[in-house]
Amino acid sequence: MPTPERPLSALGFLTIGLFDEHDPAAGHEATLRLIELGEQLGFDSAWLRHRHLQYGISSPLTVLAAASQRTRRIALGTAVTPLGWENPLRYAEDLATVDVLSGGRLNPGVSVGVPLHFDDVKQALYPDTADREDFTYQRVERLIGLLRGEAASGFRGTEGIESYSERVQPHVPGLVDRLWYGGGSLRSVVWAGEQGLNLLTSSVVRAERSEDFEANQLDLIRAFRAAHPAGDRARVSHGLVIVPTDSATPEQAAKYHAYAESRLPRTRTPQGPARLLFAPDLVGPSEQLAERLYAHAAFREADEIAVALPFTFAPEDYVQILTDLATRLAPLLGWKPAD
C-alpha cells in the first residue's frame, strides 16, 4: 500500500446494490447512477457483489452490461462471484460477452465453496446433481481454461448453414489476465498465486496465525505474492469499509459512527467455527483516515483499493462518501483521478 513516497495507484468502490422488493427498478437504477458518478469523479473501478435470494443485486454481470453502455472508461468488476452458483462454461460465455460490450473493461472476481444455505437451495439449484457437484478450486480452473481458449467441445466445423467453434465465443484474449480471486485463507491465496490470478483481499480473513486482523492479512498478501509468478508485482486490491465524513451533515456523520459502533464487537475476537476476523470500519475526517491507513501494516502492502460501501445507507449518503473519497481522502494517499 502507499507510503508518502509511493502513491495509491487505483481507487475503486464496491456495493451490493440494495433495492426495495416492491420497487426493484429504482434500486438498480440507483446503482447504475452510482457507477456513472464514480466515473465522473475519476474512480478507476466499480465493483458489484452477488446477493442470491436477497434484496441486493443477484446478477451483477447483467447490471455491469448495462453500466458498460452508460460509461466509457471505468473498470467494472464482480467482488466476488461464488462459482458454486454458476456453470463455468456458461459463465465464461457471459463474461466474454460483457467484456466485449464494455470495450475490455471487465474485471471478474470469483470464489469457490459450497453455496450458502445449500441444503435449502440445492433442489432448485442442482435438483439432479447436488451430491455430485464439484465446489473445489477445479471449478475455477475450468473457468480459467475456457477463458484462455481451451476446447469446450470436440466438434468444430460446419453443419448445414451453421458454423461451430470448439472454444467459448466470443473469445477475448487478455480477459483471463483480469480474473481476480477473493481469498481469505493462506491456502486459498497460495493457490490463487500459483494460478497467476489477481487477489482481492477484504475486511474478512481467517485467524490462522494470530488473532490480529492486520497480521493475518499481511501474511495473506505476502504468501500470495511469494507463490505468484510475478512476485511483488502481482496485483492485490485491498477492501475495507472506509467512510470519510468531511462533507457529511451532522445527521449523516452520526449515522455513520453508529453503524461502525454496532459492528465493532465482532472485530474483537475470531467469529464462528471458521474463526473469521473482521476489520473495524473506518469513519472520520479524511486526514485522520489517511493516518490510520498509512499505519495499517497490511494496507501498505497493496497499492489498489476497492472501498466497500456500507450496505444500508441511502443513495445521497453514497454520493457524499464517494465524493469525499475521490476529492479528499484518496489525494492524501497520493492518488490522482483518471482523466
202-241 pLDDT, tens digit each: 999 999 989 999 999 999 999 999 999 999 999 999 999 9
In eight-state DSSP terms, residue 300 is: G
* DSSP alpha helix (H) spans, the chain: 24-40, 60-68, 88-102, 118-125, 138-148, 186-194, 213-227, 250-263, 286-294, 315-324, 330-332
Asked if residue 1 has pLDDT above 50, the reply is: no
281-291 pLDDT, tens digit each: 999 999 999 99
Asked if residue 4 has pLDDT above 90, the reply is: no
Cα–Cα distance measured from residue 325 to residue 280, given in angstroms and rounded to the nearest whole number: 18
Which residue's C-alpha cell is 481458449?
A: 149
Give the three cell numbers for residue 4.
Answer: 508518502
How many whole angstroms from its chain centre is CA 57?
13
Query: pTM for the complete prediction?
Result: 0.96
Query: What is the Rg, in whole angstroms, of the alpha carbon atoms belonging to the chain?
Result: 20
- Helix (H) or strand (E) holding 237, with range, is strand 236-238
| Sign of the dihedral defined by the CA atoms of residues 48, 189, 199, 207, in that order | positive
Q: Residue 129, CB half-sphere, CA atoms under 13 Å: how many?
A: 9
How many whole angstroms from its chain centre is CA 292?
23
- Give me the pLDDT at residue 157, please: 96
Average pLDDT over residues 4-26: 92
53-66 pLDDT, tens digit each: 999 999 999 999 99
Asked if residue 140 has pLDDT above 70, the reply is: yes
Cα–Cα distance measured from residue 217 to residue 332, given in angstroms and rounded to the nearest whole number: 23
316-326 pLDDT, tens digit each: 999 999 999 99
Mean pLDDT check: name the lowest of 57-61, 123-127, 152-156, 296-300. 296-300
Which residues are CB-neighbours of 111 under 8 A, at least 6 positions away? 80, 81, 82, 83, 181, 182, 183
237-272 pLDDT, tens digit each: 999 999 999 999 999 999 999 999 999 999 999 999
109 within 8 A of 47, measured Cβ to Cβ: yes
Asked if residue 338 has pLDDT above 90, the reply is: no
How many whole angstroms from its chain centre is CA 304?
12
37-55 pLDDT, tens digit each: 999 999 999 999 999 999 9
- Candidates 335, 336, 322, 300; CA nearest to 243 is 322
Mean pLDDT check: name the lowest of 2-11, 45-54, 122-131, 252-261. 2-11
150-188 pLDDT, tens digit each: 999 999 999 999 999 999 999 999 999 999 999 999 999
Q: Residue 128, CB half-sphere, CA atoms under 13 Å: how many?
A: 0
Helix pair 24-40, 315-324: axis angle to 10 deg: 10
Cα–Cα distance measured from residue 225 to residue 247, given in angstroms and rounded to the nearest whole number: 38
Asked if residue 94 has pLDDT above 90, the reply is: yes
Cα–Cα distance measured from residue 245 to residue 234, given in angstroms and rounded to the nearest whole number: 33
**Averaged pLDDT score across all residues of the chain:** 96
Q: What percent of the chain has pLDDT over 90?
A: 96
* Domains with residue ranges and CATH for the chain: 10-153+163-332 (3.20.20.30)
Average pLDDT over residues 13-38: 97
38 within 8 A of 23, measured Cβ to Cβ: no
